[in-house]
Structure 1
Amino acid sequence: MNAFDKSVRLEGERIVLRPFGLDDAPGLIEAIRSREDFLPPNFPGVLEAEPIAWFLREGVHKVQRFGLGIHLAATDRDTGGLLGTIGLFKVSWDHLTSEVGYGMRRGVRGRGYATEALSLVTDWALRDCGLFRVELRAMVTNHASVRVAEKAGYTREGIARGAERDAAGVNQDMIVFSRVATDPRPGSAASGVPWRRSGGASGRLVHQDEEGRPSDR
């Protein structure tokens, strides 16, 4: 089974989530040159034109073709500029589960983009893709990402002790969150999660909060 076999475009109030393409090369090059930390670990990290072009044309889409996950560019709805990335990984179609990871560029953090992107992807995964559970992990010290998860309707399940090694080589505890298909949708009376809806036809739930960068694995 592969529910990711079609092109994906998710529109929110201020962002559009879509597949990466060659038009994203300037934004990716700028991020690499500035040594920004929002890119997943499998993205190019050096300024070499041919590998970057291949990655945006083919490499970034391979996990989607095999149904193993998906990488989406988070872009500004008005300008098309690259705001960050979000994706699903560790997808199990046998168990209908997945993890989600995202990263936002330094200059746009704290404006609610991460929460909007997370809400869009999670709703799509649980409603349109047939997944039952989406899991999110954030380091216990990443308070901004914890707030994002909570605002997007995720339930805190507990602590995974020493579950991820940081850049200094120290294993850090991770907070485990999840949303499952049977949870009340954020914005419903049962969920207790405040929301506001865009007036546009393509509007989705939009939550405003500070945002950070969960560790993309």
Structure 2
Amino acid sequence: MLPTSVPRIDHPPVVLRPFAEHDAALVASVVDDPVIPLITTVPTTADPAAIAAYLRRQHDRLAQGVGYSFAVADAVTGEGVGQIGLWTADLPAGRTTTGYWIAPQHRRRGYARAALAAVTTWALAHDEVARVQLHVEPANEASWRTAEACGYEREGLLRSWERVGAERRDMYVYAAVRPDRALR
């Protein structure tokens, strides 16, 4: 059974944990990113009230039945480097969705791969989860290579799948499934 609180998941070089007040600096560091605020609820301003509201939303996700929002932190320093979620809207059908971001100043250090591997392994260890899926823009090669490195398989292209800013964008759909849950 999936837990009723956001757990701590250790998977060096990262730890996945609930967001904390000290993660405000991490959130502030990505408000000007050209993509992160477009596809997440990260605010577009470093206003302390907007950042505090973002942090509260991350804590409310599970209580609202949306899923788990984890801060991705460096396993040694504890410094927040990004976010990953496990979204459970389709859990009654055995499906979950994940998505993540890593702040630009922390990229290319293996954090995304470790975070995705950690959340995927954790999710698929629960009986009610048979599938974890992920949507990635075709141009985001770093993200789809991360998915493939974590055992996700590309299943297709979803045309005009998601609004990103003012545009509809195509997305690759990737999935990781438990071998004992895959159809043969």
TM-score (norm 2): 0.85
| C-alpha distance 69-166 of structure 1, shift in aligned 2 (>3 A) | same
Greater CA radius of gyration, 1 or 2?
Answer: 1
The gaps in structure 2 that reach 5 residues or longer are none
* Aligned-partner Cα distance in 2 for 1:12–1:150: 18
Identical amino acids, percent of aligned pairs: 33
Counterpart in the other structure of 1:192:
none
* Aligned-partner Cα distance in 2 for 1:144–1:47: 27
Map 1:48-67 → 2, pairs under 5 A: 48-56=47-55, 58-67=56-65
Amino acid at match of 1:7: V
**Number of aligned residues:** 179
Instruction: Give 1:164 deviation, angstroms.
Output: 2.1
| C-alpha distance 170-44 of structure 1, shift in aligned 2 (>3 A) | closer
Matched, 1:102 2:100: yes
| C-alpha distance 55-176 of structure 1, shift in aligned 2 (>3 A) | closer
Instruction: Give 1:126 deviation, angstroms.
Output: 1.0
- Match of residue 178, structure 2, among 178, 181, 185: 181
Matched, 1:42 2:44: no
* Aligned-partner Cα distance in 1 for 2:50–2:160: 34
| C-alpha distance 183-104 of structure 1, shift in aligned 2 (>3 A) | farther
Instruction: Give 1:66 deviation, angstroms.
Output: 3.0
Instruction: Give yes or no for contact 2:91–2:128 (8 Å, CA) kept in 1.
Output: no
- Secondary structure of 1:163's match? strand
- Match of residue 156, structure 2, among 147, 151, 158: 158
| C-alpha distance 157-62 of structure 1, shift in aligned 2 (>3 A) | same
Instruction: Give 1:46 deviation, angstroms.
Output: 2.3
TM-score (norm 1): 0.74
| C-alpha distance 121-164 of structure 1, shift in aligned 2 (>3 A) | same
Instruction: Give 1:28 deviation, angstroms.
Output: 2.1
Matched, 1:147 2:145: yes
Instruction: Give yes or no for contact 2:5–2:62 (8 Å, CA) kept in 1.
Output: no
Counterpart in the other structure of 1:83:
81
- Secondary structure of 2:4's match? coil
**Would you tell me which structure has more helix in proportion to its own residues?**
2
Alpha-carbon displacement from aligned partner over 1:100-121 (angstroms, at most 9, x marks no partner) = 1001111222222111110000
Amino acid at match of 1:61: H
* Aligned-partner Cα distance in 1 for 2:145–2:85: 19
- More off after superposition, 131-140 vs 22-31: 22-31
The gaps in structure 1 that reach 5 residues or longer are 185-217
Instruction: Give 1:54 deviation, angstroms.
Output: 4.4
Instruction: Give 1:145 deviation, angstroms.
Output: 1.2
Instruction: Give 1:51 deviation, angstroms.
Output: 4.1
* Aligned-partner Cα distance in 2 for 1:30–1:170: 24
Give the root-mean-square deviation of aligned CA atoms: 2.2
